[in-house]
Structure 1
Amino acid sequence: MTRFGYGVDATLAQDVRRAGGADAWFEKQLTRPGAFPDAAADQVRGWWPDLDRKPADLWQRQIQEIRGGWEVMDDYGRWLLVRRIRTRRPVLEKMTEFWEAMLHVPVSGDAHFTWRVDYGDTIRQHALGRFDQMLAATTTHPAMLIFLSAATSTKRAPNENLGRELLELHTLGAGNYSEDDVKASARILTGWHVDLWESWAASYVKEDHWTGRVKVRGFSDKNGSRDGREVTRDYLRYLAHHPDTAQRIAERLATKFVRDDPPPALVRRLAKVYLKNDTEIVPVLRALVASKEFRASAGRKLRDPSEDVVATYRALGVGIDRPSGEESGANAIVWQASTLGLSPHAWPRPDGTPVNDDIWASPARALGSMSMHWSMAGGWWPTGGVHYPKPTRWVPAKKSAKFSDLVDEVSRDLLHRPATKQLLATACLATGCRAKERIDRDHGLFQWGFPRLLAAVLDSPDHLAC
């Protein structure tokens, strides 16, 4: 639930119990995500109207200085974060995020921002489907074509950017192709076009397609037709089904969802499942979660900046209203993630947001997370259109409670697990309270010190790790 979600909250816990346990819940998330009504997550799309504008409209608004592309992309990040806070379909969200990072088109860019929201929607449609179909949809998508300079690539001057990254980052992996393979890959992909700076319409221009025999690894084709769409489809299907692609996808999945040094035996097993099931994603995830390696990995992954922000909102039960200004919580949330290191899909390079922990395991990140936890524990920022829980949620009105019991109750509420001895010791140090000390509503902890307790819980490995 924590590894394939964004933090346990009361609704998620209830969904798991109703499904019959974590395994049954996960299977339902994989095969019937629609069984979990998600209106609260779906409705937030309308909070940022620019997300549903057409590419040409977005571009005109930018050049007329009505609203810049970077502002629209900030809205995209906000929408993703708030959606993740509210969703009852976290597995679909998590896998959409995973593929958007692997098949990466950054949200920054004066040209491809026009198509970037549609690109994310396209990946969402395929996130629990088949990789070969997703690869075909993303490689020829206008956002990818623009980002990697294939939108204007022609037979007279084939641009190699997309052809190379398709091999290195999206399928086979570094070291598994030659420079001749890159040239042939680029030639196959000529003809796909986007009308830059004018209509932004996507099309296929037969006159721009390079013809003649092409060969990439074990794939070869006469490529005699001026319409290269069929050879593109055949080529992408070949890459999606290649054993090197299976190995690369299995390793990335195991790195993200198991540990940074995934056991080679697990990677091999996942790759076999991927190939045996015709690149279907669900059987691979099913095998991953059923593995002994996954079961033994609890608490060994670090939440990245966006995951930390989302999990903190969920843990505290912070309510978010439709934004009414820049300082609204629904708008400020993207700045919170950026302050910790990275807002959604803002990684500038083609290799995408890293799935290994070491990039986030730094003193600066730790201090940033502590600062964010502290400001939210106290309800100090953001303040517009957000609703923070009060100490009355935990401290009884007429009776006192031992501090150790209060820490345990807060831990069960925020983390859905009992407080450990280490967490109790940390809470005592953070607040100055003794384990057996009685806490009531006249106590200084209730009156002014409760943020220290909440922050101590949020700063703990039980929250930061998953």
Structure 2
Amino acid sequence: MAAPAQARGKKKPQKYQGQPLLKGRDRHLVSRFSYGVTPALASQVRAAGGARAWWERQLTPTAVPDAWADQLPTWWPSLSQSPQDMWAADKMGMMRAFGVCQDYQRYVLLRRIYSNRQVLELMTEFWENHLNIPLNGEPSYLFRRSYGETIRSNAFGRYEDILFSAITHPAMLVYLDNANSTAEHPNENLGRELLELHTVGLGNYTEDDVKESARILTGWRVDTQQGNRTPTWNASYIPGDHSLGPVRVMAFTDPNGDADGRDLTRRYVSYLAHHPMTARRIATKLVLKFVRDDASAALVARLAQVYLANDTAIVPVLRALVASPEFARAAGTKVRDATEEVVAVWRTLGAQVRRPTGPASAANTILWQTDSLGLMPFMWPRPDGAPLVNDPWCTPSRMIASFDLHHSMAGGWWPTASQGVVYRALKSWVPQKTLRLDQLVDHLCQQLLHQHATPVLVKAACTAVGYDADEAIDRRHPVRLYGISTLLTTILDSPEFFQR
């Protein structure tokens, strides 16, 4: 690379005339509701008739073909195994629990990168985080993929249905100890988190409410390991284990005289899902995820009203959020978290992954990239879910790890092609035989950031390769031969790439 040239005076960088860019509100909408705007995604948006039309179509996932993402479970055999087979394999030493957990994490990462149903993947992530079950090797892992697919299938439905399917799922029953909760010995964990985290929130219920909540949920069982007995891991409802007698949780009361308490659970969940404090909680979390950290009280109140007026249906709430002036003004206010960063790098670089053939395959090692940045999917250790605000992801260690990720992938150094990943040829990033360096930088910004390069970014890129902005880059120029990965890395390192 040549030594830096002498400054030739300040001149406005020249732009590159590439494909039309999504602008303003269109770009903002697609950026917030995808894992990264790519040229391919922008083409889909234009073909759909604009960002809002694309977004509306995304709300009906069956209308969006997604065959490639749908075949991903075949890449990891553990994803198709029954809980009983996974447990038996684990006990025989053929499969470790963490290996099964990691296979599900890899599957979800690749869905987020390659799925055409970007809004569905984001909303599935949102609900799996809100109704968090950590993948920490505990026995709930046996049901974790089934739990995730249950969430995905309900992600655009009513919160009442999402909540009921989540808290009665074997994964949740095992994770929060309701699997062995009986009338004689009610376990309070699920009953408490249902109130504290999933619905009305801390401070809006009493300890007596927790006890009564636990009683309502008795009877939902999973046959887990007890002593030396071999478990079947079958999920069932056992009326004999249900605690009978009148119950009261806040304003919810019921005589609770039926030994089969499943309908009682449904009525109780409906009460909680329709509670005004739950409405505010869900509205607040949607604003934190998709709008900004300092959630507008007025916007939260409006979204909560829409939620209640539509019987806890989520799509009307999302429509109201997207149509709000607060959302329109929120561009550039959200930062990608550690997992979103890895997904966005793969998407924007256009890296194509191949079916894994061993532990070192790129489809497997992608998980360690998220670990190095600070958070693998579903590894937040508490039931409250990972933070939705910016501050935890704006640390020096996160930035250093991100810079390392950008450098490794921009140059195709790790994972490598031999590990089953196909990168774009570096020469393919140069759009014509000869062009100015500032035009090349602008073109790369359009490809990676879906926006024109700022003067600051042009200056940084030119400094990185050691040439002035008006340097002519032809086929034999050192920048074209050796410097493209440096330019790509510089753009990925920019503040603009860290924003959602």
Shared fold (TM-score greater than 0.5)?
A: yes
Q: Offset at 1:13?
A: 1.1
| Amino acid across the alignment from 1:219 | F
After TM superposition, give the deviation of residue 359 of structure 1 in Å: 1.2
Match of 2:405 in 1: 372
Match of 2:282 among 231, 245, 249: 249
Contact 2:352/2:423 (8 A) holds in 1: yes
Offset, 1:33: 2.1
Partner secondary structure for residue 23 of structure 1: helix
Q: What residue is the counterpart of 1:22 in the other structure? A: 51
Deviations 1:69-93 (A, max 9, x none): 1111111111111111111110000
How many residues align structurally?
464
Residue 351 of structure 2 corresponds to: 318
1:446 positional shift: 2.2
1:6 matched to 2:6? The reply is: no
Q: Could you report, residue by residue, the CA deviation over 1:188-229 in whole angstroms, capped at 9, with x for unpaired residues? A: 001110001311000011111111111111100011121111
Q: 1:274 aligns with which of 280, 285, 307?
A: 307
Q: CA deviation at 1:443?
A: 2.1
Whether 1:50 and 2:55 are equivalent positions in the alignment is no
Query: Residues 317-362 of structure 1, C-alpha deviation per residue, up to 9 Å, x if partnerless?
Result: 1111111111211111111011101111111111112111111111
Task: Spell out structure 1 runs of 4+ moving beyond 4 A.
Answer: none
Partner of 1:221: 254
- Measured at CA, do residues 436 and 302 of structure 1 come closer, stay the same or move farther in structure 2, by a change above 3 Å? same
Establish whether residue 462 from structure 1 lines up as the match of residue 496 from structure 2.
yes
User: Cα offset for 1:448?
Assistant: 2.2
Q: Does the 8 Å contact 2:436/2:470 carry over to 1?
A: yes
- CA displacement, residues 251-290 of structure 1 (integer Å, 9 cap, x when unaligned): 0000010111111000000000000000001000001011
Contact 1:396 1:440 in 2 (8 A): no
Aligned to 1:324, the other structure's residue is in SS state coil
Q: Counterpart of 2:430?
A: 395
Q: Secondary structure at the match of 1:175?
A: coil
CA contact (8 A) 1:395 1:441 kept: no
Greater mean alpha carbon deviation, residues 279-288 or residues 222-231: 222-231
Q: CA deviation at 1:458?
A: 0.8
d(CA) in 2 for partners of 1:390 and 1:299? 31
Give the distance between the partners of 1:165 and 1:61, measured in 2 at CA.
32
Are 1:145 and 2:180 matched, yes or no?
no
Matched-pair contact (CA < 8 Å) for 2:133–2:383:
yes
SS in 2 for 1:215: strand
Distance (whole Å) between structure 1 residues aligned to residue 218 and residue 62 of structure 2: 38
Query: Which residue does the alignment assign to 1:161?
Result: 189
What's the offset of the Cα at 1:165? Answer: 0.4
Q: 1:422 aligns with which of 443, 456, 460?
A: 456
What are the ranges of 5 or more consecutive residues in structure 1 without an aligned counterpart? none
Q: Structure 1 residue 394: deviation in Å?
A: 2.6
**Range with bigger deviation, 6-15 or 288-297:** 6-15
Counterparts of 1:211 and 1:394, CA distance in 2: 68
Question: Contact 1:62 / 1:68 at 8 angstroms: preserved in 2?
Answer: yes
CA gap 1:396/1:283 in 2 versus in 1, 3 angstroms: closer
Which one-letter code corresponds to 1:162 in the other structure? L
Amino acid in structure 1 at the alignment position of 2:499: A
Superposition deviation, residue 152 in structure 1: 0.1
1:395–1:439 CA contact under 8 A, matched in 2? no
Q: Confirm or deny: 8 A CA contact 2:179 2:221 kept in the other structure.
A: yes
Identity %: 54
2:236 corresponds to 1:240: no
Higher mean C-alpha displacement, 429-438 vs 204-213: 429-438
| 323, 333, 343: which one aligns with 1:290 | 323
Displacement after TM superposition at 1:459 (Å): 1.1
Alpha-carbon shift at residue 108 of structure 1 (Å)? 1.3
8 Å contact kept, 1:395–1:440? no
- Does 1:114 pair with 2:142? yes
**Alignment partners' CA distance in 2, 1:344 and 1:12:** 24
Secondary structure of the corresponding residue to residue 112 of structure 1: helix
Partner SS for 1:203: strand
Q: What is the letter of the counterpart of residue 336 of structure 1?
A: Q
Q: Does the 8 Å CA contact 1:85/1:314 hold for their aligned counterparts?
A: yes
Contact 1:251/1:262 (8 A) holds in 2: yes
Amino acid at match of 1:349: R
Return the alpha-carbon distance in structure 1 between the equivalents of residues 401 and 249 of structure 2: 46
What pairs with 1:378-389 in structure 2 (closer than 5 Å)?
378-383=411-416, 384-389=419-424
Equivalences for residues 445-456 of structure 1 within 5 A: 445-456=479-490
* Offset at residue 423 of structure 1 (A): 1.4
How far off its partner does 1:425 sit? 1.6
Distance 1:421 1:294 in 2: 27
**How far, CA to CA, are the matches of 2:335 and 2:315 in structure 1?**
24
Supply the AA of the counterpart residue of 2:425. K
CA distance in 2, matches of 1:124, 1:391: 37
> Within 1, Cα distance between the matches of 2:371 and 2:48?
36
* Alpha-carbon distance in 1 for matches of 2:480, 2:72: 34
Q: Which residue in the other structure is 1:60 paired with?
A: 88
Measure the CA separation in 1 of the matches of 2:394 and 2:291.
17
TM-score, normalising length: structure 2: 0.91
The one-letter amino acid paired with 1:28 is: R
| Aligned mates of 2:193, 2:438 — CA distance in 1 | 54
TM-score by length of 1: 0.98
Matched, 1:412 2:446: yes
Q: CA deviation at 1:396?
A: 5.5
Task: Return the letter of the residue paired with 1:392.
Answer: K
Residues 138 and 175, structure 2, Cα contact 8 Å, conserved in 1: no
- Matched position secondary structure for 1:423: helix
Which stretch of structure 1 is more off in the superposition, 399-408 or 274-283?
A: 399-408
Match of 1:133 among 148, 161, 183: 161
Instruction: Report the residue type matching 1:165 in the other structure.
Output: E
Residue identity in the other structure for 2:40? T
Q: What amino acid maps onto 1:420 in structure 2?
A: T
Matched, 1:231 2:260: no
Q: How far apart are 1:442 and its partner, in Å?
A: 2.1
Deviation at 1:110, TM superposition (A): 2.7
- For residues 76 and 196 of structure 2, the distance between their equivalents in structure 1, rounded to whole angstroms, comes to 35
